[in-house]
């Protein structure tokens, strides 16, 4: 009696999450055809780890970037003998604790994908752009008109293109997507960076590396910069009561920080201790509490949670001290072009609007997330045809344990999503440890011949352990 063929799986997106899922899925069930769709120009890297330069550094150490592949990222780095002198000097010679260039991690995943394609005959690369998913028969439609038949489809398309939070004219003086190629910028140009998070930090580093020495003005609603990492000490738990509101959770976090400071332990360790429970806390909140968090607490959370490597923080601090970089709490409420520059109407926090004339504006507000606002023909088509639902808070797609929800909240039996697209369910699922845990769970689900564990995904995040 012949064996029943395993359902074929097509993964859309060849960045970190798509490549990692493809590698693990192909290895877990050799008889299952796994097709990875992408352009393969930045395979394994995507925006985060592919569209970056040597001066862009991981904001977590090497030890927190391990994803269970062989060789490990640590061993791959040692074998490559990359120039890591600066990173090792900062970490006291410890490679596990070193903050290395981001591109190295993208190259590592790319190498693992290439090895997987050579090793696993069931893993196939399909070069093309997916523009639609069809349900009868099940298939993925490519931009060139070809179709890829598949029993199961997984969306691993990553972040959407960024958008400006204000109306702006079409002009080369505005760099709308900082991850694409920039036009030539005069070394003495006055530049406004819309946003003060890690995207702004990347843009500043790129400008300095290109020889720019002009004035830089970073603007965001709260004017907060990402905080630096700080080594030393550990913190066990943060007692957030079940049913706590966002404000009550903040109070519990602050109480833990005060206790840690009294014990001479950096506040960073408290955030690290809370991290594995974040998905569970978010999962328990109703939509009203999630909305409250996004409106009032997201900005302080982001700057404490998504931090800078110490040597990057030192560079940003030095630029502020010498007056090259200024950071303002303000909003850009209007933008227009003059003959020789841009005219921005800026309203400082608590103040009156004022005119600011600059040479260049760079959008550093971060990647897009809301599939209902366009930016992806594929996601727009899925929503329009009722195969997916956009989250009302604009964070991504509605899912349950990675399965897409559609129509009246029904679960798809064949359409899944991973990583940033699933933020509505988990909030913290954009960093490597959470993405890796999610992928391991989905691999188990797609390769199981019997039933899998009933524990929800947010419970699996509790096993991540403390530490960034």
Where residue 390 sits, what CATH number does that domain have? 3.50.50.60
Alpha carbons within 13 angstroms on the beta-carbon side of residue 239 total 3
Q: What is the pLDDT of residues 183-198, one digit of tens each?
A: 999 999 999 999 999 9
Q: Both 357 and 322 in a single domain?
A: yes
Q: What is the pLDDT of residue 5?
A: 63
Enumerate residues 6+ apart whose C-beta is below 8 A from 455. none
3-state SS class at 366: coil
Planar angle of CA 230, 257, 302, nearest 5 degrees: 65
Instruction: Please spell the DSSP secondary structure of 206-221, one letter per residue.
Output: HHHHTT--S-EEEEES
Q: What is the pLDDT of residues 39-53, one digit of tens each?
A: 999 899 998 999 999
Q: Both 317 and 281 in a single domain?
A: no
Number of residues in the chain: 468
DSSP element (H, E) containing 226: none
Is 23 a residue whose pLDDT tops 90?
yes
Q: Both 453 and 397 in a single domain?
A: yes
Is residue 192 a contact partner of residue 327, using CB atoms and an 8 Å limit? no
Is 444 a residue whose pLDDT tops 60?
yes
The residues that bridge with 403 in the sheet, in sequence order, are 400, 416
Alpha carbons within 13 angstroms on the beta-carbon side of residue 451 total 3
Q: State the DSSP code for 3.
A: P
Q: What is the rounded CA–CA span in Å between residue 374 and residue 380?
A: 6
Is 462 a residue whose pLDDT tops 80?
no
- Residue 111: pLDDT band (50, 70, 90) is very high
The per-residue pLDDT of the chain, averaged, comes to 92
Q: Both 109 and 257 in a single domain?
A: no
Written as six digits, the tokens of 417 are 């999503």
Tell me which long-range contacts 402-410 makes (C-beta under 8 A, separation of at least 24). 402/154, 402/438, 402/441, 402/442, 402/445, 402/457, 404/155
DSSP element (H, E) containing 313: helix 310-321
Count of structural domains within the chain: 3
The model's pTM is 0.93
Is 353 a residue whose pLDDT tops 50?
yes
Q: Both 18 and 142 in a single domain?
A: yes
Q: Both 428 and 459 in a single domain?
A: yes
- Using only C-alpha atoms, the chain has a radius of gyration, in whole angstroms, of 23
Q: Is residue 311 domain-resident?
A: yes
- Mean pLDDT across the stretch 275-303? 93
Is 82 a residue whose pLDDT tops 80?
no
Q: What is the pLDDT of residues 224-280, one digit of tens each?
A: 999 999 988 889 889 899 889 999 999 999 999 999 999 999 999 999 899 888 989
Q: Both 130 and 33 in a single domain?
A: yes
Q: What is the rounded CA–CA span in Å between residue 299 and residue 255?
A: 19
Is 453 a residue whose pLDDT tops 70?
no
Q: Both 70 and 91 in a single domain?
A: yes
Q: Both 198 and 313 in a single domain?
A: yes
Q: Is residue 238 domain-resident?
A: no
Q: Is residue 167 domain-resident?
A: no
* Range of the structural domain that residue 273 is part of: 246-305
Is residue 163 a contact partner of residue 375, using CB atoms and an 8 Å limit? yes
Written as six digits, the tokens of 247 are 């404000």
């Amino acid at each position: 009696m012949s064996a029943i063929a395993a359902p074929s799986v097509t993964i859309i997106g060849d960045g970190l999450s798509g490549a990692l899922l493809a590698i693990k899925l192909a290895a877990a069930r050799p008889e299952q055809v796994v097709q990875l769709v992408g352009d393969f120009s930045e395979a394994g890297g995507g925006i985060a780890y592919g569209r970056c330069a040597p001066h862009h550094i991981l904001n977590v150490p090497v030890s927190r970037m391990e994803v269970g592949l062989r060789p490990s990222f640590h061993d791959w780095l040692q074998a490559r003998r990359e120039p890591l002198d600066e990173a090792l000097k900062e970490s006291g010679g410890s490679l596990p604790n070193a903050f290395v260039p981001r591109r190295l991690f993208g190259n590592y995943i790319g190498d693992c994908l290439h090895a997987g394609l050579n090793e696993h005959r069931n893993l196939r690369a399909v070069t093309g752009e997916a523009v639609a998913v069809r349900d009868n028969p099940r298939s993925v439609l490519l931009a060139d008109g070809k179709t890829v038949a598949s029993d199961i489809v997984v969306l691993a398309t990553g972040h959407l293109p960024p958008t400006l939070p204000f109306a702006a004219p079409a002009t080369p003086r505005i760099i709308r997507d900082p991850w694409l190629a920039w036009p030539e910028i005069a070394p003495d140009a006055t530049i406004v960076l819309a946003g003060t998070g890690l995207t702004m930090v990347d843009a500043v580093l790129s400008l300095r590396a290109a020889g720019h020495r002009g004035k830089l003005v970073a603007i965001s609603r709260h004017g907060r910069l990402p905080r630096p990492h700080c080594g030393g000490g550990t913190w066990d738990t943060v007692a957030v009561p079940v049913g706590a509101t966002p404000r009550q959770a903040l109070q519990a976090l602050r109480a833990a920080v005060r206790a840690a400071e009294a014990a001479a332990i950096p506040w960073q360790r408290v955030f690290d201790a809370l991290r594995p429970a974040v998905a569970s806390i978010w999962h328990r909140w109703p939509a009203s509490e999630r909305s409250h968090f996004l409106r009032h607490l997201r900005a302080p959370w982001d700057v404490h949670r998504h931090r800078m490597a110490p040597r990057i923080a030192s560079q940003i601090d030095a630029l502020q001290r010498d007056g090259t970089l200024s950071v303002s709490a303000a909003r850009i409420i209007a933008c227009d072009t003059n003959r020789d520059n841009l005219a921005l109407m800026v309203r400082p926090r608590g103040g009156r609007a004022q005119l600011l004339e600059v040479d260049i504006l760079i959008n550093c507000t971060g990647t897009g997330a809301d599939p209902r606002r366009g930016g992806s023909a594929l996601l727009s088509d899925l929503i329009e045809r009722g195969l997916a639902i956009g989250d009302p808070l604009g964070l991504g797609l509605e899912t349950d344990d990675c399965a897409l929800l559609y129509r009246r909240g029904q679960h798809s039996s064949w359409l899944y999503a991973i990583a940033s697209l699933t933020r509505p369910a988990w909030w913290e699922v954009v960093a490597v440890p959470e993405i890796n845990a999610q992928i391991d769970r989905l691999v188990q689900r797609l390769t199981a011949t019997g039933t899998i564990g009933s524990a929800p995904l947010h419970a699996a995040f509790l096993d991540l352990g403390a530490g960034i």
